[in-house]
Structure 1
Amino acid sequence: ASPKLMEMWNRHGKQNFRLTIGSEDWIMLSDPDDVGTILNHPSELSKPLERNAAMKPFFGNSISSSEGEKWKSTRKLMTPSFHFKTLEKRVEDVNKHCDRLFKILDTFNDKSTINLYTYLRPYMLDILCSTLMGVDSNFLGNINHPYLEASGRTIKIITQNYFSYWRNISKIFELSPQYRVMIKTVKALRDTSATGHYTTTMTICHTLYCIAKYPDIQNRIIEEQRSIFKNNFFKCPTNQDLNDMKYLEAVLKESVRVIPTVTKIGRQLHEDLKFKGFRYAWVAMKATLSNMLRRYEVFPCDPADEPQFAHHSVKEFEYKFIVELSANT
């Protein structure tokens, strides 16, 4: 659906436009100020109805599908996990799992190409289990684990549920073989559950793709790593080392801008809203992030100042979007 939306966005002058899908009206937002208005709204937290219908069998009334006070209380419980002081205490755990990953990847030297996603997903799941829950799960040592297989099916089933009207009619859906597959998948997820590894894995995959596509950028990343580690690439990075990776940080954030892991964010409005003088009635509203993030202009700069310029640009970008988008998504 995203390429079609991008095509329509270009056709309508790269601005907000209305889209009618069946009996529903959608307002597709791509203006950064308008997107900021709705994502920072204190009460408009409801996700689109069809999205929640597709996701709730898997995740229940969680942070991704809840609204109102339930969303706020859950978000409040999660916040301490992402404090910098908390993350700093877990660097050793991350380094341990990095060593495990590299030992596996080293076995593929001088061999045919491999699918990095196959190993990055259990690697990220191990990190989340270790840093957030204190459990050494070792999914990386068993890439065919039932949970990994089930979570791999989850995205496919959610997408099919999202775009299928009849699957939202429970009495009919429960008679289908697809329903039995979904129930089996849900059971595996609830027996062993950890969220967040999919989006993080996709972000790493997209970043590696972008780095591989531009060798000059890749070389500059290596130069920065050499300057930090003094050519000792076997050294485990400290928090200070990670903070010194300014160019790598800029590359990561630019990769997220070019290939957003989550390309669209939707809201089901409960009241009328105003955007730049235009009043939108109680309708569904979707923020098209891939469009919004690509509206930025790229300005030339002195190559000697480029690392500093890139870091300054990242800070402006972070203030404008990353902080705002993290508020109510």
Structure 2
Amino acid sequence: MECQKKYGGLFKMYFGFAPPFLVIVNAKHMEYVLGSTKLLEKSRDYRFLHNWLGKGLLTSGSVKWRKQRKILTPTFHFQILEQFVEIFDEYSGILIKKLETEVGKKSVDIYPYVTLCSLDVICATSMGTKVNAQDKSESEYVNSVKAMSRIIMDRSLSLIKMFDFLYCFTNDYREENHALKVLHGYTKAVIKSRKQELMKASGISDSPSEIEDDLGRKKRKTFIDLLLQYNKDGQPISEEEIREEVDTFMFEGHDTTAGAMTFALYSLSKNPDIQEKVVEELRSIFGDDKDRPVTLSDLQEMKYLEAVIKETLRLYPSVPFYSRDVHEDFEYEGTTVPKGTSLLLFVFGLHRDPDTFPDPERFDPERFSQENLRGRSPYAYVPFSAGPRNCIGQKYAMMEMKSLVSKVLRNYELLEVPGHKLLLSPETILKSLSGFHVQLRKRKF
């Protein structure tokens, strides 16, 4: 942020002996990079994800990415996402019960509660399985996800751990191997189980169909089911490719949404007038019934809450920066950007540009009213990236965030903890080293 203030929206930054990053903090330049069909290669720093995610949608090169994106896009169709609303509501209900023990206390860090709820949701929707993270927060699977998220960030910043030949002598290397054994073992076991269920349901060994429950009703399809059923020109997706995509979905759809939901709840505790507007909208939808399960129609009516979430992602984008590698020279406005350059897209700084967002530190959902959106570049606000490699799960994420945040606000009033300040840190995703402390009070809905 200091460099942005000093040098503007485009500057080079050096990290040790590595080639420099060209840092982009300008909507016009951002549009050129994100809108390009040539600048699709993720930077070398994404290699630290390969042991866990392989070459899934997030980390794959442009050739494989195009193939995988085409396969995966139908799995995020709105009709498929609709069946997940019940899951969002179910696990949000468990969260509400867990938070009851914190009502009336002077301070509670809500992040651990929200992230475990998000982990429950992602396991249920992507794998059709229950890890009961909210009840078993110290489970081996939950701890392995936490360990991998920490190790990936540590490797990108450590002069020793970033080199494979030195990293193999560290404790993190041994911890990563154990975590990967747990994570990959779990995913592979679920894939095998779901495949057997689908085969049994179809009665045809090479053509999996629908899974039915004991009453003959079709069970909701999960991410794994849809990938297992994919078959084009006699070419199904391999089990290893399915594992890569499911693990990618676990990684991208767990911490990112948990962080955004927690930042939203924290921001509402700091802005009681905005919180009350959201509650008024919820009362217009649910009346005085704080227990009625949320529906897709309800989520679609939460216009102001959606603006609140968008403003949260402006100030606190889950992924504060991402990067691309230049694999061939290209000309831009009379300047040659050479092959080998890494482009660092600084989203956090972009979203706090006072020319686009006046008084940028102020939390104001009205920035996303139809009137205020007119004339603003779509590349001035990119929490889900943009262009060809935008986030495939952004509709899923918005539905989950609306469901959880609305459930919390229907049950609890969020109050500010005097003196508590966020200490922002990009640990794979944007987090706060000081936690997210609020006070909870039962709401008379």
Q: TM-score, normalised by structure 1?
A: 0.87
Change (3 A) 1:143 1:112: farther
Q: 1:256 aligns with which of 302, 310, 313?
A: 313
For 1:47, the aligned partner's letter is K
**Does the alignment pair 1:44 with 2:39?**
yes
Q: Which AA in structure 2 matches 1:27?
A: L
Residue in 2 that maps onto 1:95:
89
Offset, 1:176 = 2.7
Which residue number corresponds to residue 369 of structure 2? 310
Alpha carbons of structure 1 residues 106 and 289: separation in structure 2 relative to 1, 3 Å: same
Tell me the distance in 2 between the aligned counterparts of 1:176 and 1:273.
Answer: 40
Indicate yes or no: 2:286 matched with 1:221.
no
Q: Write the deviation string for residues 125-170 of structure 1: whole angstroms up to 9, x where unpaired.
A: 2212222332233222211111111211222211111122332433
Unaligned runs of 5+ in 2: 187-246, 360-364, 391-445
Name 1:232's counterpart in structure 2: 289
Structure 1 residues 61 and 114, CA, compared in 2 at 3 Å: closer, same or farther?
A: same
Distance 1:284 1:8, change over 3 A: same
The answer for the alignment partner of 1:178 in structure 2 is 172
1:122 shift after superposition: 2.0
Report what 2:412 is aligned to. none
Give the paired residue count: 317
Flag the 1:76–1:328 CA change in 2: closer, same or farther, 3 A.
same
CA deviation map 1:28-58 (0-9, x unaligned): 1111121121122223222221x12322122
CA RMSD of aligned residues (A): 2.5
* 2:163 is aligned with 1:169: yes
The reply on whether 1:297 has 2:328 as its aligned counterpart is no
Q: Does 1:139 align with 2:197?
A: no
Secondary structure in 1 matching 2:161: helix
How far residue 204 of structure 1 moved from its aligned partner, in angstroms, is 0.7
The one-letter code of the counterpart of 1:255 is T
In structure 1, stretches of 5+ residues that fail to align are: 1-5, 301-305
Give the distance between the partners of 1:298 and 1:273, measured in 2 at CA. 31
Is the CA contact (8 Å cut-off) linking 1:257 and 1:293 kept in structure 2?
yes
How many angstroms apart in 1 are the aligned matches of 2:163 and 2:305? 47
Read off the aligned partner of 2:78 and give its amino acid letter: F
Q: Structure 1 residue 311: deviation in Å? A: 4.4
| Residue aligned with 2:369, SS | helix
- Rounded Cα–Cα distance in structure 2 between residues aligned with 1:17 and 1:144: 44
8 Å Cα contact 2:328/2:338 also seen in 1: yes
From 388, 393, 401, give the equivalent of 1:327: 388
Alpha-carbon spacing, 1:149–1:19, altered in 2? closer, same or farther (3 Å): same
**Counterpart Cα distance in 1 of 2:107 and 2:158:** 36
Q: Assess if the C-alpha contact under 8 Å between 1:53 and 1:162 holds in 2.
A: no
Give percent identity, aligned residues only.
26
* CA distances 1:159-191 after superposition (whole Å, capped 9, x unpaired): 111122332433332223332122112222222
> What's the CA shift string for 1:221-244, capped at 9, x where partnerless?
111111111222222222111111
Alignment match of 1:285 (pick from 343, 349, 354): 343
User: CA separation in 1, counterparts of 2:159 and 2:358?
Assistant: 45
Displacement after TM superposition at 1:314 (Å)? 5.6
Contact 2:366-2:372 at 8 Å conserved across structures: no
- C-alpha distance in 1 between matches for 2:33 and 2:11: 16
Flag the 1:172–1:18 CA change in 2: closer, same or farther, 3 A. Answer: closer
Decide which structure has greater helix share. Answer: 1
8 Å CA contact retained: 2:285, 2:298 = yes
Change (3 A) 1:189 1:224: same
Stretch deviating more after TM superposition (188-197 or 31-40) = 188-197
- Residues 1:127 and 2:121 aligned together: yes
Find the counterpart in structure 2 of residue 33 from structure 1: 28
Range with bigger deviation, 130-139 or 280-289 = 130-139
> Distance in 2 between the 1:297 and 1:172 partners?
44
Q: Give the Cα–Cα distance (whole angstroms) in 2 for the partners of residues 210 and 66 of structure 1.
A: 35
Q: Distance in 2 between matches of 1:319 and 1:15?
A: 17
Task: Give me the whole-angstrom Cα distance separating, in 1, the residues matched to 2:121 and 2:375.
Answer: 30
Please give the residue correspondences for 1:266-277 in structure 2 after superposition, counting only pairs within 5 Å. 266-277=323-334
CA distance in 1, matches of 2:155, 2:23: 22
**Equivalents in 2 of 1:205, 1:326: separation in Å?**
27
What is the deviation of 1:278? 3.5
> How many angstroms apart in 2 are the aligned matches of 1:40 and 1:116?
37
Match of 2:254 among 197, 218, 239: 197
| 2:234 is equivalent to residue 211 of structure 1 | no
Give the direction of change, closer, same or farther, for the CA distance of 1:174–1:16 in structure 2 (3 Å limit): same
Cα deviation digits, residues 88-124 of structure 1 (max 9, x gap): 1221222111211112212332345332221212211
Mapped to 2, the partners of 1:148 and 1:83 lie a distance apart of 28
Structure 1 segment 40-79 matched on structure 2, within 5 A? 40-49=35-44, 51-79=45-73
| TM-score normalized with structure 2 length | 0.66
Residues 208 and 318 of structure 1: is their aligned pair in 2 closer, same or farther, counting only changes over 3 Å? farther
Per the alignment, residue 3 of structure 1 pairs with none
Q: 1:139 to 1:318 in 2, by over 3 A?
A: farther
Distance 1:53 1:299 in 2: 37
Per-residue Cα deviation, 1:215-268 (whole angstroms, up to 9, x for no partner): 111111111111111222222222111111111000100110111111111011
Tell me the amino acid that sits aligned with residue 81 of structure 2. Answer: L
